[in-house]
Each structure stands twice: as structure tokens, then as C-alpha cells.
């Protein structure tokens, strides 16, 4: 089915796949106009209709706090059956709250602890308002709260999703995510049978969100030799403050929090005390913050030492003496790396509103070219037409334009301007060694320069706003997927031929959260995060150049595909790295004819193999 007819206030509307925003286990969300969206259930049930009708007819929907994207109008089919609802549309450029658990995201967005405290003060006020209305969120988690980054020390607007699952009156919240579920509700087997959530369970989830966002670790995070699962830790009351915990190295020290917050953490997660989160703890914490002049980390000024500097362990001796070399260290952040066919590579960094191109070799040879001034969020692709110099494609934040620049001289020179389609409000484009790939209408276009003119040819079909793809850095290969309503179809274009890939479809009730594609010399890996109710699993499917499925890896073993430090994995098509290689999950690895390039937040390192 390529189109679907719905009715709003007896007015007929037709939806097509290009309007799809997201498809989940329960339903699909479509854009309808500039400011609203509609959610349609895969299998509308009587309880859906009753719950939505009650929220709208009782006036509750109209009294919801600002930012809570609840039902506005009921959606029906031709027969008048309720199949979903209309709601405000989530603004562009928002981010899920789960991004706050990643230190690198803070850095790239220039977030400050003071600003995030204000964000949680906003969330606190909204949650208190919901409770005053008799509404319990229930499934309060870091994937149904979104925020819009503002200036470093101003409040960030917050948006609340999945409002139709909220608990109110006799209507239960039917789902929950385990990391945010109050352990006092672990005994509940089916949340859809009756209301079980409370104000206290919401405040428990709120405090989990706060700790994860500030410390970058769950209150029951880290590693314990005896209690290995989150449930076991929660039931035993073993928190990150326990001396037997191996604390994550990339998390902020617990002493980043105030003593009052640490005490509240202990009472809540170790002793099981419940109640509304005291807003005064955040107010006092914000007033007591200072910033370390040595390492730049914020912490309470009432402490005698910066917890980050004081807790740093001695720098270990290099494990790969002579093999691991730093080639580039920049101020700011590295935004893009491209390994060229001649073995040199191009790096784009961003610092103080300026984008700079660095030309490097394995010997560390370095030239710099200032590109332009601009805020964070520009995206790039580099390709080198045969017989010509490299060309840089630049895409501005939130835009669909592709500015092509000649970067061979002492300053960038504009060549031409193109447009491309979007997928999830993000421009879709990528570059193989010699070509730029974009979408024009319903076609995937492959373009390059010939005799000074930009020339394109259509190589495959695309679906409006429903196709995304990745390009191999070392071959004429494109891999991606089409999203047609709730169905995801994976495809490959390799050496002039197209293939539909036999990657298994999602089961009923599952939804695709994220997809990543990585390339080896003759194979392509599709890694996807799949959610089913409160559980997210990761899996990787590997195909060859002829579109045949040759490997399936459960879990996240191939996060740096095709490189691995796990000798238990099959060697072909993997490259076995030294097990002592200091690679973190945030690092990006690039193949080089003489080794591996490690791309980190602010530096480039090389490993000779």
C-alpha cells in the first residue's frame, strides 16, 4: 500500500510514504502540514479508542503542559473507526535525551552542566504539572523526551512524546523500559492489565535520567563481580557508590554531584526510599558549581579538589611502542576524515566557528586550508574526479543544498550548487572515491566533473524522503535502505548492478531504532538496533558484493567492522587487530594501505600493522 486515507473532523486526507516520520512497534507517525503529525496504530484496538476518546472528551488533552505533544484530534477511517490521533509535530533539530549520556555529544553541542540542570528543572516542572492533572507518565525514559539545545546557559525547550501511553483514570500505561522501571514494579508481568505506576515511579525514572545525563552512567552502572545484571544490582541495592563497583572510565566521577545529591542517590537506589524529587537539590547544586581551570570539568566549589583531576590514574606506558603514532591534534573537534587513493588523507576540523581542512600523510606531513566560518553541524563528503583534484561537498545544518568546492588551491573555490532529498530531516548524500551520490526526485544520482562540467547519471530508484544510503570509501559501492511505511528494504549498488538484500525483515512489534553501514574491501556490514517493547538488541548482517548474505553477528561485536580485536570471530572478512589497541566505542577506524587511521574527537592516530 503506497497511500492511506484518513479522516480528521470528517475531512479526508491522503498520506503517502514520503510523509512517514517514524515507524515503531505500535504504530506509524506521519507529518501532516508544517506543524502537526498523525499517529496511526498498526492494529487499532478498542482500548486505544476508549483511552483517546476519554483524553479528548474530558478536556485533559487541552490542559496538558506546554511541550507535551498529546492528542489534538482523533483520526478515523472511512467507517468512522478510531485508528489514531493528530498531535503537534516534534520540531526539527531536537535530540533525544539519551544523547546526554554521551560525553562527546556534550562537547559537540557546547552543552554546560548549568544548562542541563536548567533542562531538568524544566522537566521537573512539567512532570509536577502532569501529576497535578492526575496523569502518570509510566514509561518515562530517555527516548520519549526530546530537547532543543539552546545557548550554553539558557533553558533548553523539552518535548514529551508517546503521550497516548500515559496512565490516567482507569487507563494503564501498557509498557515500560527496564533501566527506568522502579524495582518495586519488577513483579508486574503485564502492564496493560491495570494501572500500576505512581507519582513515585515517575520520580524514580526522573532521577535515573538525571544521573545518566550528568554522570554518563546509570545509578546501577559499572561492573560488579557478583551482581552482573541491572535487575540483580537494583534488587540488591548495589549502586555506583559501592566500593566493589568497577566504575566506567569515561563517566564523570560521582563527586561531580553535590553531597546532598549523592546522599539522595544512596537513599533512592541503595535503600529504596521513594518520594517526589526535591527541586531544592538542583537549585543548590547549580548555585555551588565552579569549573576546574586545569581540566575544564564542572564540580561543586565546596569540594577541596576537582574530582576529575584528583581521580585520574597514572598515564600507562604505550602498549604499542613505535606502532601507535599521533598524526594530528586539533583545537576543537574533528568532523570528517577521508582516506584518498594515494594514501594521503584529508581531515576537516571545527573550532571557534571556523572549519579548517588539514592535508596529512602517514608521516604526519601537514598543510592547512581555512574553508569558511559556520556553526556546528555542517556535513561533508570528498571525492576526486578522475584526472582532477579533490572536490569537497558541503551541506549546511538543516539544509538540502550541496555546495561543491575546489579545494586544490590556497583558498576554496565554488564550483556549483546542488540539491538533494532528505531522510528524517537530514540531507542524503555520500561520496565514493570518484563520484558524489545524491537523490533527485525519485532517482539516485551519481555525479562527477568531466572537462570542467558537472555531469550526472541516474543509477537506481529512490523513494521520496524514505531512502538513505552510505558510500564505500574505496570502491564504486553504495548501500542503503528504503523505508516504506513499517517495512524496511535493504539494497546494494555495486559495480553498476543493483541488488535487493536478503536481510531478514523485522518481526511484528519490532521497530528499527538505528542503522549503520560499514565497508570492507569486498563486503558490507549492516548493523541495526531493533527495539521490541522495552528491549533493544543489536545485530549485524554482512553481505558480499553480489548481495549474498554471508555472516550474521548478534550483539555489537562488529562496532568497528571490518576490524576486530576478538580472535573468536571468523577471520575473513575481518582484520584482526592487536588486543591491546586502545580503541573506544566512539572512535572511528579507517583502513589505510599501511595500517589503520584512528579518528578521535580531537586527534588522528595511526597504527602500523
Domain final position from 280, 311, 342: 311
Residue 104, H or E segment: helix 103-109
How is 44-102 classified by DSSP, letter by letter?
A: --HHHHHHHHHHHHTTHHHHSPTTB----EEEE-TT--EEEEEEEPPPTT-EEGGGGG-
Give the CA angle between residues 428, 433, 438 to the nearest 5°.
20
Domain boundary among the residues 67, 88, 109 is at 88
Is there a single domain that holds both residue 58 and residue 107?
Answer: no
Mean pLDDT per block of 10 residues along the chain (609 residues) reads: 84 92 88 93 94 95 95 94 96 94 91 93 96 97 92 76 95 96 96 96 98 97 93 95 92 94 95 94 91 86 82 35 76 94 90 94 81 94 92 96 94 96 95 97 95 94 94 94 90 94 90 91 91 86 92 76 78 74 82 86 86
User: Residue 464 contacts by C-beta under 8 Å, 6 or more apart in sequence?
Assistant: 17, 18, 421, 441, 442
Model pLDDT, residue 577: 78
User: Domain range for residue 65?
Assistant: 3-88
The helix or strand, by DSSP H or E, that contains position 590, with its residue range, turns out to be: strand 588-592
Shared domain check, 297 and 190 = yes
pLDDT at 556: 66
Residue 277, domain member (yes or no): yes
Measured CA to CA, the distance from residue 604 to residue 242 in angstroms comes to: 37
Regarding whether 82 and 130 lie in a shared domain, the answer is no
**Whether residue 150 sits in one domain with residue 99:** yes
C-alpha cell at 494: 555495486
Residue 547 maps to a domain? no
Spatial distance between the Cα atoms of 280 and 584, rounded to a whole number of angstroms? 37
Q: Both 59 and 100 in a single domain?
A: no
Task: Identify whether residues 60 and 186 lie together within a single domain.
Answer: no
Contact 23, 530 (CB under 8 A): no
From the list 247, 244, 281, 289, the residue with the least C-alpha distance to 265 is 281
- Under a CB-based contact definition with an 8 Å cutoff, are residues 20 and 483 in contact? yes
Longest dimension (CA), the chain: 73
DSSP state of 435: -
* Residues 22 and 166 occupy one common structural domain: no
Residue 606 lies in a domain: no
CA distances from 39 to 44, 84, 160, 165 (A): 11, 5, 15, 12
Within a domain: 153: yes
Residue ending a domain, choose from 291, 311, 331: 311
Task: Evaluate whether 8 touches 452 at the Cβ level (below 8 Å).
Answer: no
Kind and range of the H or E element at 12? strand 11-16
Residue 183 lies in a domain: yes
Q: Which of 397, 449, 406 is nearest to 427 (CA)?
A: 397
**Residue 7 located in a structural domain:** yes
Same-domain pairing of 119 and 39: no
Predicted local confidence at residue 70, as pLDDT:
95
DSSP state of 206: H
Provide the grid cell at 312.
585520574
Beta-sheet pairing, 345-351 with 333-339: antiparallel
Give rounded-to-5 percent helix, strand, coil for the chain: 20, 40, 45
562: preceding bond cis by omega (within 30 degrees): yes
Reported pTM? 0.80
Instruction: Flag whether 337 is in a domain.
Output: no
Pairing of strands 453-461, 443-450: antiparallel
CATH number of the domain enclosing 30: 3.30.200.20
Tell how strand 575-576 and strand 563-564 pair up: parallel
Could you tell me the three cell numbers for 420?
Answer: 538533494
250 and 295 together in one domain: yes
Domain count for the chain: 2
Q: pLDDT at position 591, please? A: 86
Q: Dihedral (C-alpha) 176, 179, 180, 181: value to the nearest 10 degrees?
A: 60
Please check whether residue 326 lies inside any domain of the structure.
no
The verdict on 100 and 84 lying in the same domain is no
List beta partners, residue 483.
488
Report the CATH number at residue 211. Answer: 1.10.510.10
Residues 132 and 242 in one domain: yes
Q: Are residues 150 and 180 in the same domain?
A: yes
Amino acid at each position: 500500500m503506497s497511500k492511506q486515507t484518513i479522516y480528521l473532523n470528517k475531512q479526508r486526507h491522503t498520506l503517502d510514504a514520503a510523509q512517514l516520520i517514524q515507524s515503531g512497534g505500535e504504530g506509524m507517525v506521519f507529518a501532516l502540514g508544517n506543524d502537526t503529525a498523525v499517529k496511526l496504530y498498526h492494529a487499532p484496538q478498542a482500548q486505544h479508542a476508549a483511552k483517546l476518546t476519554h483524553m479528548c472528551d474530558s478536556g485533559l488533552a487541552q490542559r496538558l503542559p506546554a511541550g507535551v505533544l498529546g492528542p489534538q484530534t482523533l483520526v478515523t477511517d472511512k467507517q468512522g473507526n478510531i485508528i489514531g490521533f493528530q498531535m503537534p509535530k516534534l520540531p526539527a533539530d531536537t535530540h533525544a535525551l539519551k544523547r546526554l549520556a554521551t560525553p562527546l555529544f556534550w562537547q559537540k553541542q557546547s552543552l554546560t552542566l548549568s544548562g542541563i540542570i536548567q533542562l531538568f528543572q524544566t522537566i521537573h516542572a512539567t512532570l509536577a504539572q502532569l501529576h497535578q492533572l492526575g496523569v502518570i507518565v509510566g514509561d518515562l525514559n530517555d527516548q520519549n523526551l526530546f530537547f532543543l539545545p539552546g545557548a550554553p546557559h539558557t533553558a533548553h525547550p523539552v518535548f514529551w512524546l508517546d503521550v497516548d501511553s500515559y496512565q490516567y483514570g482507569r487507563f494503564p500505561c501498557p509498557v515500560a523500559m527496564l533501566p527506568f522501571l522502579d524495582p518495586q514494579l519488577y513483579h508486574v508481568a503485564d502492564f496493560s492489565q491495570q494501572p500500576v505506576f505512581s507519582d513515585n515511579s515517575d520520580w524514580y525514572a526522573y532521577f535515573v535520567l538525571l544521573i545518566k545525563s550528568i554522570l554518563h552512567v546509570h545509578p546501577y552502572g559499572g561492573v560488579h563481580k557478583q551482581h552482573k545484571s541491572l535487575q540483580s544490582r537494583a534488587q540488591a541495592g548495589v549502586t555506583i557508590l559501592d566500593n566493589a563497583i568497577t566504575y566506567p572510565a569515561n563517566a564523570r566521577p560521582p563527586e561531580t554531584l553535590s553531597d546532598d545529591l549523592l546522599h539522595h542517590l544512596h537513599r533512592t537506589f541503595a535503600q529504596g526510599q521513594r518520594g517526589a524529587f526535591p527541586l531544592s537539590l538542583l537549585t543548590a547544586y547549580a548555585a555551588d558549581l565552579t569549573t576546574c581551570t586545569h581540566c575544564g570539568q564542572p564540580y561543586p566549589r565546596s569540594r577541596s579538589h576537582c574530582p576529575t583531576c584528583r581521580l585520574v590514574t597514572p598515564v600507562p606506558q604505550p602498549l604499542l611502542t613505535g606502532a601507535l603514532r599521533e598524526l594530528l591534534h586539533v583545537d576543537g573537534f574533528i568532523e570528517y576524515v577521508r582516506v584518498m587513493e594515494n594514501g594521503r588523507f584529508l581531515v576537516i576540523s571545527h573550532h571557534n566557528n571556523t572549519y579548517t581542512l588539514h592535508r596529512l600523510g602517514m608521516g604526519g606531513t601537514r598543510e592547512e586550508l581555512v574553508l569558511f566560518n559556520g556553526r556546528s553541524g555542517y556535513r561533508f563528503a570528498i571525492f576526486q574526479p578522475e584526472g582532477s583534484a579533490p572536490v569537497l561537498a558541503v551541506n549546511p545544518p538543516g539544509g538540502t543544498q550541496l555546495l561543491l568546492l575546489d579545494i586544490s588551491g590556497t583558498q576554496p573555490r565554488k564550483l556549483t550548487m546542488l540539491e538533494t532529498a532528505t531522510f528524517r530531516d537530514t540531507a542524503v548524500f555520500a561520496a565514493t572515491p570518484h563520484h558524489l551520490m545524491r537523490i533527485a526526485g525519485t532517482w539516485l544520482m551519481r555525479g562527477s566533473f568531466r572537462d570542467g562540467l558537472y555531469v550526472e547519471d541516474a543509477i537506481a530508484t529512490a523513494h521520496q524522503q524514505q531512502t538513505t544510503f552510505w558510500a564505500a570509501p574505496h570502491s564504486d559501492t553504495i548501500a542503503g535502505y528504503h523505508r516504506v511505511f513499517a517495512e524496511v528494504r535493504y539494497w546494494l549498488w555495486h559495480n553498476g548492478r543493483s541488488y535487493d538484500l536478503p536481510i531478514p525483515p523485522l518481526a511484528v512489534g519490532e521497530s528499527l531504532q538505528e542503522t549503520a553501514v560499514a565497508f570492507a574491501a569486498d563486503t558490507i556490514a549492516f548493523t541495526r538496533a531493533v527495539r521490541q517493547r522495552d528491549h533493544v538488541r543489536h545485530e549485524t548482517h554482512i553481505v558480499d558484493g553480489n548481495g549474498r548474505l554471508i555472516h550474521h553477528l548478534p550483539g555489537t561485536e562488529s562496532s568497528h567492522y571490518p576490524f576486530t580485536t576478538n580472535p573468536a570471530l571468523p577471520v575473513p572478512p575481518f582484520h584482526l587487530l592487536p588486543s591491546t589497541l586502545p580503541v573506544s566505542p566512539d572512535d572511528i577506524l579507517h583502513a589505510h594501505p599501511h595500517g589503520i587511521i584512528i579518528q578521535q574527537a580531537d586527534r588522528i592516530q595511526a597504527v602500523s600493522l
